[in-house]
Structure 1
């Protein structure tokens, strides 16, 4: 049986791939490039609907590695039940940190400094000045302190923020300071001027930002979501936005894509970008480096990087 590797990037565009496997290009097209049963290493197409990327999985009876090109795995995880035991699922840690952290800072600055209002005023030919909040001297709370959360803090360092608090699933120490567990959120939220969501979507984080979470945020605080839409209860957020008590900058929404006519489009104090945290010019070179590294490890039977779970040993 051929040891096929399915790649969503043409293999002749990736320098340094190891010899040995038969490389097949598949970016989610209707026709498969080969028999899925021969695939040993499957790279899920990037920026395709979940049902597209998971379509070949039930037929991949010989697959040993499923590699995403996204930081999150929630779009793939439900289909893993079709796979045999021992398949390793790896994410794209190291690929999206720069782009997503850039966007998080852009959303924070644009929201605080009123950039959307300036653009609308420019369209009308109006000169509208006045005082706006600065990021300097603000308290920032990062909810989801993995590699993307840390990259966001790296970029905050230049903006003279007063304090950064960090929250993750469990407590730990870092060179920048302590990381608090999720259970500390009620005590941390009232002090935060800016709350940044960069947590993965799990059963523990789905609906994490509910009415109670939002009620604990201080008046005038900004919520920034570069994580996943379902981390936030949209109805509860809308109530806070419409009251004028909170503002928000959202790269992800629930539902997504946000349909025309949805009240979130026109809610006061909200800035929406269409899930563009990852797809920038920084993506492709980092994605290629990740794939070359992982495939060398795979061919040489070395431990893989970024293993999130192994089927048959972790609850899916």
Structure 2
């Protein structure tokens, strides 16, 4: 079998899992750069098994149809919103996922707070200044006593809220299905959407990307934010409309900390890369040693099981 490991930007697959049980009898190739759909159709045509990291590459029906040898797609996690699962099933392609390791579910919460504190205390700018011989060029802002708004009070949103409460922040939240009683149960006040944007000093997004959430944050919402308020997005880029966000950053109306983007990897010439008032990270939310080790160990196990005719963790 020919096995492809996709989008392994940091070349972590072989570091975090033992592939020797497969490489003795099968050919393994690692792709450490992102492939466009056209590139993927050509490059992956010979492969029987494709190992896919999260949603880094879309797998629509037309790409699946272009891979004549494809027998198994090994995804990470239990779902993949840009994989056409029905098309895979129709082609007889098995799709297997991975389990979440205990303690890894809070990785994105940790990153969100890292970005909040870095933005509030200008950590990146001051660290760069120190390397250039500088000393104390900014005055930061504490989070204690301020209001954190949480857009989406699910598992990750609740995790961010708990940290805010430890920092003595007031926490408010809104989502389309959030009940006031559910918010109160975790010490959070449920407010309407317009008030979430008006009252928040820091607003952190924790929604799943869907038809309902795509473009949910638009120009009117951003216009309601306090001058200099911080918008944090570690969920999915398309939840926030890109054009009004860029305009708000350039005008200095708000600040942002962004880990996710409409197109990933973010194009080199994307205007966000040179925009003011924004802290950018390259979708690091789930990228920890613990999470990646679990992903790749389960992937190896899934492939080994499939090769002996006993597929495990089958999705769909």
Normalised TM-score (structure 1):
0.69
Aligned residues of 1:238 and 1:267 also touching (Cα < 8 A): yes
Cα shift at 1:245: 1.3
Residues of 2 paired with 1:88 and 1:32: CA distance?
17
Distance 1:144 1:82 in 2: 31
Q: Aligned to 2:226, which of 218, 231, 238?
A: 218
Q: 1:264 aligns with which of 272, 284, 301?
A: 272
Is 1:113 the counterpart of 2:96 in the alignment? no
Other-structure match for 2:253 = 245
Alignment partner of 1:166 is 2:176: no
Deviation at 1:236, TM superposition (A): 0.3
Partner of 2:18: 13
Distance 1:287 1:81 in 2: 24
- List runs of 5+ in structure 1 lacking aligned partners: 15-22, 37-41, 311-316
CA contact (8 A) 1:97 1:151 kept: no
Q: 1:176 aligns with which of 175, 182, 186?
A: 186
Q: Is the 8 A contact 2:77 2:100 kept in 1?
A: no
**2:206–2:235 Cα contact (<8 Å) kept:** yes
**TM-aligned CA distance change 1:70 to 1:122, over 3 Å:** farther
Q: Does 1:73 align with 2:83?
A: no
Distance (whole Å) between structure 1 residues aligned to residue 30 and residue 160 of structure 2:
30
* Structure-1 residue corresponding to 2:10: none
SS of residue matched to 1:97: coil
Superposed CA offset, 1:197-245 (max 9, x none): 1212111111112101111222221001101111111110111111111
Query: After superposition, what is the alpha-carbon deviation per residue over 1:146-187, rounded to whole angstroms, capped at 9, x for unaligned?
Result: 322233234334322222x23344124164146859xx3123
Q: TM-score, normalised by structure 2?
A: 0.69
Structure 2, unmatched stretches of 5+, are 6-12, 20-25, 32-39
- Partners of 1:261 and 1:102 lie apart in 2 by 29
Distance 1:268 1:47, change over 3 A: same
Taking the aligned partners of 2:54 and 2:154, their CA distance within structure 1 comes to 21
After superposition, give the CA deviation of every residue in 1:105-146 in whole Å (9 maximum; x if it has no partner): 110000011112213322431212553211111211122333
Judged with a 3 Å threshold, the aligned counterparts in structure 2 of structure 1 residues 209 and 56 are, in CA distance, closer, same or farther, namely same
Matches of 2:59 and 2:28, distance apart in 1 = 18
Number of aligned residues: 288
1:278: how far off?
A: 1.3
Over the residues paired in the alignment, what is the CA RMSD in angstroms? 4.5
- Whether 1:204 aligns to 2:212 is yes
CA contact (8 A) 2:152 2:206 kept: yes
